Structure 1
Amino acid sequence: MKPYKFEDLPDIIGELLTRIDSIEKLLQENKLNAVAANDELLTISEAAILLKLSVATIYTKVCKNEIPANKQGKRLYFYRAELINWIKLGRIKTITEIQQETELKFNSRKPFK
């Protein structure tokens, strides 16, 4: 690391501020791209590819209200983020997680009087 002099401080601070500004811009661009990706609207074919299900299976799940969907006219649309959240909600808990939940419920109950 180069030794700096007191006279160099204004230049160094200016360089740091420039770098911080560029980092903030990159972070904001990444955040906007992430939001746009989550709000991406999918057709039924695209949803089938994402979920690795057949189109017929998706139609069945929509009819049974098992999957989040949007209908405009005769067409179905899906938000990528909603489908991913739907998948996450179907997660099967491990035995350890079930035991921990059970212990928490029993420990938080009031004793009988």
Structure 2
Amino acid sequence: MKEQEINFDSLPKAVGLLFEEVKQIKSLILETSSKEAGDRLLTIQETAEFLHVQKQTLYSYVSKGIIPNHKRAGRLYFSKNELIDWIKSGNKRAFDVEKEAQKIISKRKGGSHE
């Protein structure tokens, strides 16, 4: 690769190229470290595609503590192996949420509106 002289006018382009290279390096490091451990870390987008849900649904699961996740530098990552185990174990927490909703409804003043 030919080195170019960086001056004030070419600085935005140089920073953009540097940003892309850092992103690629980070991606390779995450991929390599995951392969070495026999696991793979997924981004929010990859996890949404893997689980066939919307990203907003994933954010909801994370905020409710329903789905296993890892947060690093403000970004969410999901272990593919942990997701597979979570799927296999069944989402028992969803039933708890339903129970809590029924408790709230039964405590509502004014009775039932059925």
TM-score tier after normalising by the smaller chain length: 0.3 to 0.5
Bigger helix fraction: 1
Q: Choose 1 or 2 for highest CA Rg.
A: 1
TM-score normalised by length of structure 1? 0.47
TM-score normalised by length of structure 2? 0.46
